[in-house]
Structure 1
């Protein structure tokens, strides 16, 4: 297979292999065959997306309940395809997917929401839905929302049109959640997974990985003379890492330093990270974030 463009396509976001490619890439790559997508939907709380059909490999990213996954191939119990939400390509467990559900009407607002077989807190849970999972509410009974996957306590959900407006406040709800490479659920996530998850909840389209976010998310921001002036909603980028400014000289991030989501003063963190490797490289400002630019 050859790529007929001067710019090499990023395989993380373009569905092509040596033996096939997505139909949408027909005029861009040369492949033995082109496949139209078969849409499926995640039916479990979350499922990892891997770079090859091997369950022993680490996560590249994670799909959460309700996400649409366009399938181009199936083998060895895995489906190879592309997440429709952010375009990420990889292999996920075929058993985690199912036919398309009714269109989503609500989103899980709490960090987790149990799924029950009936509208009763005494029923044995079927599982749970993580923060940000989108689901159709079909009916409501005794304070529980009936969904295609089970009953959910209705107050754990919000209508899709009702979005929070502060990604930093949403990130702060994840304080103490474990760090998980490639994760993006409330059971564990990585630095860019945290940023993408809270941005998505606020209606901000964010790519998955930190290098993508550094290029594409928000607007460039000059380095401040004093990091206490860095506005809330600024993004701080190091090679392979991202954090969110909380304002007043603090930042929040999912970090392998503590293996959790933490809030800490920016200046000491900059010194600690510089002792371990490359220093801070880029600042960007999320859409709609604070209007006060840092002093130069």
Structure 2
């Protein structure tokens, strides 16, 4: 990207994880209508001949929305399986459609956290406005266990129809004795155990003890860059999912999470369990995050795998690296 365009991006405060801002030929693609006036004025002032295209574009047609149709789908930085995985979408997760490339790849903006990336079209269902509204308005159940299956029949030995991870939400069609009949995004029907799901609803009261217990249930889960499920977590995906299960919406990446909540500084005497601890490998950028456990300077985090470490040199769980790179804490629970 030419320096002048990069300078404009910085001036407008555009985060390319949340807003498309890229040059393709002589066209500048953007996905945030709110910045258009300022952007066009800035380009005019600079004498730029770039054309600006606001996404979604004509490649989407009327299919402006979509739903993830598999247990866990990778969301990539570029439209290629060889590209970096930046995050994931889970079964039933919804998004805006921004662009379609070669009929195989869809650039999406996830509704939960606004994250943007490319997803393989074979793993999603694209919908028109009316179809998406009908889908969204139906009563849903949310999966509560770490992972499991939607089955063909209300029987634990029945053939799996789809795998499913925690927080996945599907339309419920009817209830049997111990099972719910659910509708998958592509219209297929399956069954989920009643004791593995709950009716999808907002959580009114956030309990910090629930946050800690939720975090501990993922101990031992492997680290995965861009991962946000029990199949593999990166550090911020772990934190985001733990809080999501408990009805708290957090941004996707560690530096974004650093930007929310109340600043607590670095004094552990001021911290409470459930606070977020942040770390920086270079002393400038936030590169890691974990959840404070409330005593002995212990933190649960995903590094190699989900584990508990301490910043207390007397602890058997002591991590010199965490103590050395610690930069402060934030409180997101009140």
Name the structure 2 match of 1:153: 193
Quick one: higher RCO (CA 8 Å, sep 6+), 1 or 2?
Answer: 1
Change (3 A) 1:24 1:168: farther
SS of 1:200's equivalent in the other structure is helix
Contact 2:32 2:54 (C-alpha < 8 Å) held by counterparts: yes
Name the structure 2 match of 1:9: 14
Superposed displacement of residue 102, structure 1: 4.4
In 2, Cα distance between equivalents of 1:51 and 1:15: 11
In 2, Cα distance between equivalents of 1:23 and 1:60: 20
Contact 2:143 2:167 (C-alpha < 8 Å) held by counterparts: yes
Name the structure 2 match of 1:127: 162
After superposition, give the CA deviation of every residue in 1:160-210 in whole Å (9 maximum; x if it has no partner): 226463322211111111111110011111110011111122221200000
The 5 A counterparts of 1:227-238 are 230-238=271-279
After superposition, give the CA deviation of every residue in 1:59-92 in whole Å (9 maximum; x if it has no partner): 1111111111211111131101211111111111
Q: 1:64 aligns with which of 83, 87, 90?
A: 90
Change (3 A) 1:233 1:75: same
Name the structure 2 match of 1:293: none
1:184 aligned to 2:228?
Answer: yes
Contact 1:219 1:287 (C-alpha < 8 Å) held by counterparts: no
State the TM-score, normalized to the length of structure 2.
Answer: 0.77
1:223 aligned to 2:254?
Answer: no
CA RMSD of superposed structures (Å): 2.4
The 5 A counterparts of 1:1-296 are 3=8, 6-18=11-23, 19=27, 20-22=29-31, 24-25=33-34, 26-30=36-40, 31-36=51-56, 38-76=64-102, 77-98=104-125, 99=127, 100=132, 101-103=135-137, 105-149=140-184, 150-161=190-201, 163=203, 165=207, 166-216=210-260, 218-224=261-267, 230-239=271-280, 240-249=287-296, 250-255=298-303, 259-268=304-313, 271-273=319-321, 279-288=325-334
In 1, Cα distance between equivalents of 2:39 and 2:242: 34
After superposition, give the CA deviation of every residue in 1:80-128 in whole Å (9 maximum; x if it has no partner): 1211111111111111110343445222111113110111112111222
State the TM-score, normalized to the length of structure 1.
Answer: 0.86
Uncovered stretches (5+) of structure 2, i.e. residues with no partner: 41-50, 57-62, 185-189, 281-286
Superposed displacement of residue 224, structure 1: 2.5
Contact 2:279 2:322 (C-alpha < 8 Å) held by counterparts: no
In 1, Cα distance between equivalents of 2:143 and 2:333: 23
In 2, Cα distance between equivalents of 1:167 and 1:280: 22
SS of 2:22's equivalent in the other structure is coil
SS of 1:32's equivalent in the other structure is strand
Larger helix proportion, structure 1 or 2? 2
